[in-house]
Structure 1
Amino acid sequence: MSGARLICVGTHHKTGTIWMRKVWRAIARAQDIPFMQCYRAKRLADVAESGPQIIVNWSSSFPAELFAREDARFIHIVRDPRDVLLSGMRYHRVAPLGNEKFLRERREAWGGGTYQDHLNALPDDHARLMFEMEEKHDKTVREMLAWPWGHDRAHELRYEDLIRDTECRLFRQVLEACDIEGLDIDGAVRSFWDLSLFGGLAREDDRSARQNLHVNSGAEAQWKGKLPPEIARVYAERYGPALKSLGYAADDSWLRELSAERAA
């Protein structure tokens, strides 16, 4: 017996959060497992005293006290930040304000309008991408970098690998490695399949309206064809070290790859 009973799932904005929220809530319902969000240490007082429990944090900012628990296992999902930038800008233009608190925030610098108002008032996608980069995107990248990489009870996953996991092998492998007592892995894998775009949600009609808002393209490395070169150069200067730390680009040679893709 592993002694592990807390399965802690962390994502970041636009790294599959809506997907994982649906999957893990479905697992919780199907298996009658307690489910809770945890952003502060005081929330740990609500952890069940026995049995499995699902604990989530959609910015992957779990309190240190949870990381210190021997009975906790962590699944952490990241995504290529360049695609996060593109996906975020598109989504924030149309996202319902009730779903994202920061989109409702008003600032004098934005003429008293909201984040979304200001984004949509900008003249073109170049300006919108720059605004997104300096605002929500910067916070998201910093959250990715702040994760305790190398934690011995954490399993790192890439969104790009999960969307290719059409046989659910990777998802199953991670659950087996976590070895959560009382978790039905076969049942959890079924929930993952049922709520994946390559599985039970392959048809647009089977998705919720909110899911369709988030789904623009399931393809990885969208930045190759959609990130303007002038934005890419700024991005490389600002976030080149982050791309290297996260394992998405060893250097700035990806800029040449982008130019070739756009020219094709």
Structure 2
Amino acid sequence: MLAPGAGLSAAGARIPHLHRHGHFRTHEGGRRMSARFLCIGTHHKTGTIWMRKVFRAIQRDQDIPFMQCYRAKRLADAAETGPQIIVNWSSSFPRELMDMDHARFLHIIRDPRDVLLSGMRYHRIAPLGNEKFLREKRDEWDGKNYQDHLNALPDDLARLMFEMEHKHDKTVQEMLKWPYGHPRAADVKYEDLIEDEDCSQFRGILEDFAIEGLDIDRAVQCYWDLSLFGGLKKDSDREERVQLHVSSGAKAQWVTKLPREIAEPYADRYGDALKALGYAENDDWVAQCRPMADIAA
């Protein structure tokens, strides 16, 4: 199990499920807050490619500066006026940025059980140039890199255990580390966004953020155009990299695809994380998972 307190926010409170509309708009006394930085944070296999394409499209469409920011010194390159899109694909924004009154944060998490399944599948076939950690060779893997070692394992049970103990563990710890309840952040579940077919949640977040100079209608159009429920609904409309990442955008894939042999040790190791992130009330979910032999059949 995780150490006591794991899965709690820095303030010690349970992680809230969703953002609250309207709580970004005013200072004490009712004066409207000024926001310029639109910051997007994801985690591995929680919609990163999706968000990257959406916000790159917004950048091009509205000519808004775009940059990645993992260290405070990068902020020196941010636009001094007007809107700025800032991304961090591990949601590890520097504290200096998190403390800025004019920064707003869209933070996306996903059911870790689905992250495990998606990650293992993708890491078997991912181009090595896209993921540095996949190229890393270790003596403990007989000199193989992550991908080659993963593929050399005898079956999916072994591959899922390996994934869980390595890249997946880092991803879960990143999700738990985020400062949930931050006053200028919208914490959103991937599962809700993937069903946001009328774009009302995405629009509501942008309206709450009230980023100066951002055309919300055009931004929402980019979001719809590049979503699996919208412009990318047909497989033929998805470019090769999107197809590599996406086998299915459905939520709760673990119910039918996570073997009981993996679910049991997963609950021991990450049961507290699932509870803290709002994906399970207890470990009863394990009983929904079928043995690997039944899944294979």
Q: 2:218 is paired with a residue of what secondary structure?
A: helix
Per-residue CA deviation, residues 143-182 of structure 1 (Å, 9 max, x unaligned), is: 0000001100000111100110011001001111111111
Residue number in structure 1 paired with 2:204: 173
Task: Tell me the distance in 1 between the aligned counterparts of 2:39 and 2:156.
Answer: 36
The equivalent position to 1:143 in structure 2, one of 150, 166, 174, is 174
Identical-residue share of aligned pairs (%): 70
Are 1:156 and 2:187 matched, yes or no?
Answer: yes
In the TM superposition, residue 257 of structure 1 has moved relative to its aligned partner by 2.8
Distance (Å, rounded) in 2 between the aligned partners of 1:6 and 1:23:
16
- Which stretches in structure 2 are left out of the alignment for 5+ residues? 1-31
Cα drift, residue 35 of structure 1 = 0.2
Match of 1:256 in 2: 287
Paired residue for 1:30?
61
1:45-71 deviation per Cα after TM superposition (whole angstroms, max 9, x unaligned) = 111110000000000000000001000
- Residue number in structure 2 paired with 1:73: 104
Which one-letter code corresponds to 1:254 in the other structure? W
Alignment of 1:194-205 (within 5 A): 194-205=225-236
- In the alignment, the residues of structure 2 paired with residue 259 and residue 248 of structure 1 have an alpha-carbon distance, to the nearest angstrom, of 19
Does the 8 Å CA contact 2:36/2:211 hold for their aligned counterparts?
yes
Give the drift of 1:217: 1.0
Pairing 1:118–2:155 present? no
Q: Which structure exhibits the higher relative contact order, with contacts defined as CA atoms closer than 8 Å and separated by 6 or more residues?
A: 2
User: What SS does structure 2 have at the residue aligned with 1:192?
Assistant: helix
Corresponding residue number in structure 2 for 1:2:
33
- Equivalent AA in structure 2 for residue 167 of structure 1: D
Question: Do the aligned residues in 2 keep the contact of 1:75 with 1:156 (CA within 8 Å)?
Answer: yes
AA aligned opposite 1:57 = N
Counterpart of 1:168, as a letter, is C
Contact 1:10 1:57 in 2 (8 A): yes
Query: Following the alignment from structure 1 to structure 2, what is the Cα–Cα distance between the partners of residues 2 and 153?
Result: 11
CA shift, 1:238, in A, is 0.1
Say whether residues 1:242 and 2:296 are aligned partners: no
Runs of 4+ in 1 over 3 A off after TM superposition: none
d(CA) in 2 for partners of 1:219 and 1:155?
Answer: 22
Letter in 1 for 2:189: R
| Number of the residue aligned with 1:214 | 245
Deviation at 1:2? 2.6
Residues 173-212 of structure 1: CA distance to partner in whole angstroms, max 9, x if unpaired? Answer: 1111111111100000000000011111111111110000
How many residue pairs were aligned? 263
Measured on the aligned residues, the alpha-carbon RMSD in Å equals 1.4
- 1:193 maps to 224
Give yes or no for contact 2:106–2:186 (8 Å, CA) kept in 1: yes
Cα distance in 1, alignment partners of residues 116 and 235 from structure 2: 24
**1:18 partner letter:** I
**Unpaired segments of 5 or more residues in structure 1?**
none
How far does residue 258 in structure 1 lie from its aligned partner after superposition? 2.8
Counterpart secondary structure, 1:156 = strand
Distance 2:257 2:294 in 1: 11
Letter matched to residue 163 of structure 1? I
Give deviations 1:17-69, integer Å, cap 9, x for gaps. Answer: 00000000000110000000000011011111100000000000000000010
The aligned runs of 1:51-62 (5 Å cut-off) are 51-62=82-93
Tell me, in whole angstroms, the C-alpha distance in 2 between the residues paired with 1:24 and 1:119: 32
The structure with the largest helix share of the pair is 1
In structure 2, C-alpha distance between the alignment counterparts of 1:121 and 1:263, rounded to whole Å = 23
Distance in 2 (CA, whole Å) between partners of 1:263 and 1:253 is 19
Contact 1:2 1:180 in 2 (8 A): no
Report whether the alignment pairs 1:90 with 2:121.
yes
Equivalent residue letter for 2:272: P
Match of 2:72 among 41, 47, 50: 41
Task: Report the Cα distance in structure 2 between the residues aligned to 1:203 and 1:254, rounded to whole angstroms.
Answer: 32
- 2:176 touches 2:273 (CA, 8 Å); kept in 1? yes
Indicate conservation of the 8 Å contact 1:33/1:54, yes or no.
Answer: yes
1:127 counterpart residue number: 158
Paired letter, 2:233: A
Contact 2:258 2:290 in 1 (8 A): no
